[in-house]
Amino acid sequence: MLTGGTMSDREPISTVLVYVGLDRIGDSLLKLPFVRGLRDTFPDAHITWLAGKDTSVYAGIMAPVVAGLLDEVIECAGIGLSPAELLRRPLDGRAFDLIIDTQRVALASLVLYRIRHKTFISPFGNFILSSSKPAKGYQFPKGMQRQMLDLLEIASGRKIETPTKLDLALDPELEGIAENLLPAGPRYVGFAPGAGGLPKCWPLENFIAAAGAQSVAGRQPVFFLGPKEKDWVERVRSQSPDALLPLQEDDVGKKHDFAPGLTIALARRLELAVSNDSGTGHMFAVAGVPLISLFGRTVPEKFTPMAAKLTIIRAQDYGGREMDLIPVDAVVDAIDGELAPHGRV
């Protein structure tokens, strides 16, 4: 892949800066193999994670997951927002041995390039600013996860494999809570109707209808509702009376700040899950549960969940980009295809 030098050709790397625009739950899970690979590649370096345009969950709810992997997380750094940034050196003149720019926006890349550095890696402009470049004919991947792993390969000269799964060590307390909320026996099917915005959401009434079909089939529907979906709780309880809402049981979700580890622990007890393109969907995938992922306006090729077994249903296959175009029957048939007697038992 590379035309630049290898690790053995370069001075030791003691400081690393990684630039992203922002991090939400879903993409933070997709980026985690990159973060782990970064630490494996530069075990003794001070690694700074820079969210230039907004916040990063690595500084908050996902901080325990990256403990020991990242040394510093800077949020809302104001990099990539205004051409006036080109008139000064960002980060108060700090310098880094290696800067990895993970995006391809001209302004952010040019501003980052003004930070003092020894090695600069960026896909902007077909790697025009990069100290090392891919080989001729290289095609930047569509998937965000592989994009970032390729940047690490280019920076390090080492081959970085795409993980087939993401093993997370969970808090035993959370695993115990999940076992109590979803004890062994029933065939649990999970539903996550929320997402980062309503345009990404399949209508709630469709989720409720698909959940009702699971009750008829002798399976136990389980709804995963986060703090942004609190207004849906009573509607789900009234219209899907057989469904379980484990995160609302005794306010356990609120008591644990809706920790991703709790959702992942609960998801490990499911036989299958259905979600929009959302952070919860990525948590389902990390848990190792077969996943039916619903896409409309977003691009599945870029945000593909890391599910061991993944079924993608696209609104485009039904005439457009709006989520309500996806028929309930298509989702129910996909569930049955996985869990019916000829499928998983």
For residue 74, give its domain range: 7-156
pLDDT of residue 343: 47
Give dist(CA 325, CA 222) in Å, integer: 24
Same domain, 152 and 182: no
Structural domain includes residue 305: yes
Same domain, 176 and 147: no
User: What is the number of structural domains in the chain?
Assistant: 2
Structural domain includes residue 344: no
pLDDT of residue 341: 64
pLDDT of residue 5: 46
Cα-Cα-Cα-Cα dihedral sign, residues 144, 103, 320, 203: positive
Same domain, 147 and 56: yes
Structural domain includes residue 1: no
Same domain, 55 and 27: yes
Structural domain includes residue 164: no
Same domain, 64 and 192: no
- Which positions ≥6 away from 266 have C-beta within 8 Å? 178, 181, 182, 190, 222, 224, 246, 247
pLDDT of residue 96: 98
Tens of pLDDT along the chain (345 residues) come to: 555 444 445 578 999 999 999 999 999 999 999 999 999 999 999 999 999 999 999 999 999 999 999 999 999 999 999 999 999 999 999 999 999 999 999 999 999 999 999 999 999 999 999 999 999 999 999 999 999 999 999 999 999 998 877 888 899 999 999 999 999 999 999 999 999 889 999 999 999 999 999 999 999 999 999 999 999 999 999 999 999 999 999 999 999 999 999 999 999 999 999 999 999 999 999 999 999 999 998 888 888 898 889 999 999 999 999 999 999 999 999 999 999 864 444
Structural domain includes residue 161: no
Same domain, 106 and 135: yes
CATH number, domain with residue 201 = 3.40.50.2000
Same domain, 120 and 197: no
pTM recorded for the entire structure: 0.88
Angle between helices 328-339 and 204-216 (to 10 degrees): 40
Structural domain includes residue 165: no
Same domain, 224 and 98: no
Same domain, 89 and 43: yes
